[in-house]
Structure 1
Amino acid sequence: MLETIVFDVGETITRDDRYWASWADWLDVPRHTMSALVGAVVAQGHDNAEAVRLVRPGIDIAAEYAAREAAGRGEHLDETDVYDDVRPALSALRERGIRTVIAGNQTARAGQLLRALDLPVDLIVTSEEWGVAKPQPEFFQRVLDVAQAAADRTLYVGDHPANDVHPAKAAGLRAAHLRRGPWGYLWAADPDVKAAADWSIDHLGELVDIAAR
């Protein structure tokens, strides 16, 4: 029986469209170019930050991020960035007594923005706030700490096999692979991902039935 469900952020709770469009605008390249580069580095198994480095080799991403914030062109999230199935699924899970947590590889600023959306969850935390990021085992130990449930009664939901499914399973958690976003679609049929994930889902609403079972 599941007691806690923990959610990744990008392409699980929120769309990444605005994030990459803002980088494209800041670097003065067409948005389609940035989107294509993100897809290319994903397909090659690289971190998506490599797309920014392809546009501007040698870029200091942290410094550039700070410059964007100072210029008033930093991170932004609002209700339009949240997938349509998020609020209904989270609300239904809480009604069934399931503890819900959002924990992903995001900045502290993203954590603030997510909390401002007043999503129906028990906790929102980010990797920068924890000082450790996926897929490091320490991240998933922190997940277990906030889950307040045994590992085999905690489910981690995400779209990225290398950051979500495989390290969650290595930590003893249950894992659901979400077929959404470039990572989700790209690896949805991968036999290793299908074998590792306890569930493969297309919609967060499916978690309500999973939790009920």
Structure 2
Amino acid sequence: MVTAVVFDVGETLLDDSREWGAWADWIGVSRHVFSTVLGAVTAAGRDNAETFQYFRPGFDVARERQLREEAGRGEQIDDSDLYPDARPALAQLRERGLWVGIAGNQTARAAELLRALDLPVDKIATSGEWGVAKPSLDFFARVADMVPDGPGETVYVGDHRDNDVVAAKAAGFRTALIRRGPWGYLWADDPLVRRDADWVINSLDDLADLLAPR
């Protein structure tokens, strides 16, 4: 029986377009070119942070993120960044009695910004706060600690084959991949996704009826 649902953040709840565009602007590359290289990195199944190395070898993402903050050009998250189905789906799941959480590979600052949105969830946590990131099993151990009934009764929802579906399944969670964002579209029919995803969905609106039908 599913009693909890935990969501990834980027390209699951949030449209990352603004943040990637801000990075392109920061390093002085056209958004089109940056997006194209990011797509190539994605298609190769590599970490998206590698995108920066094509433009600035040795690029230190953490350091540059701090410089962006100091320059007043840091992370921004508001309701306009949420996918239209995000808030309604979170609310509907809670209304049907499920515990709802958010846990993704995001900065501690992103956690603050997400909490400021007053989303209808029980808990929000990020890798930046925990000091451990997906796809590490240690990350999912932290997720298991935060949910009420452990991983076997929890669905982890995300858009990424390796970080979300495969890693969460290895940690004992049930999993759903959303066909959204570059990773979700590319990997929705991947053999590893077919092996490890309990569901592949096209919208977060699908979850309530799948997990807690009336």
Question: TM tier, shorter chain?
Answer: over 0.9
Q: CA deviation at 1:132?
A: 0.6
- Specify the alignment match of 1:73 in structure 2: 73
Q: Distance in 2 between matches of 1:132 and 1:159?
A: 19
Q: CA deviation at 1:192?
A: 2.1
- Specify the alignment match of 1:204 in structure 2: 204
- Specify the alignment match of 2:7 in structure 1: 7
- Specify the alignment match of 1:55 in structure 2: 55
Taking structure 2 as the reference length, the TM-score comes to 0.97
1:112 lines up with 2:112 in the alignment:
yes
Number of residue-to-residue matches in the alignment: 213
Q: CA deviation at 1:147?
A: 0.8
- Specify the alignment match of 1:95 in structure 2: 95
Moved segments of 4+, more than 3 Å: none
Q: Distance in 2 between matches of 1:150 and 1:66?
A: 35
Report sequence identity in percent.
59
Q: CA deviation at 1:150?
A: 2.8
Q: CA deviation at 1:149?
A: 1.1
Q: CA deviation at 1:191?
A: 2.2
SS in 1 for 2:6: strand
- Specify the alignment match of 1:164 in structure 2: 164
Q: Distance in 2 between matches of 1:192 and 1:111?
A: 30
- Opposite residue 163 of structure 1, the aligned amino acid is N
Q: Distance in 1 between matches of 2:21 and 2:86?
A: 22
SS in 2 for 1:15: coil
Q: CA deviation at 1:67?
A: 0.7
SS in 2 for 1:189: coil
- Specify the alignment match of 2:193 in structure 1: 193
- Opposite residue 130 of structure 1, the aligned amino acid is W
CA RMSD, 1 decimal: 0.8
Q: Distance in 1 between matches of 2:30 and 2:138?
A: 37
Q: CA deviation at 1:148?
A: 1.3
Q: CA deviation at 1:211?
A: 1.5
Residues 34-54 of structure 1, C-alpha deviations (whole Å, 9 max, x = no match)? 111111101111110111121
Q: Distance in 2 between matches of 1:124 and 1:212?
A: 21
Q: CA deviation at 1:58?
A: 1.2
Identify unmatched segments of 5+ residues in structure 2.
none
Taking structure 1 as the reference length, the TM-score comes to 0.98
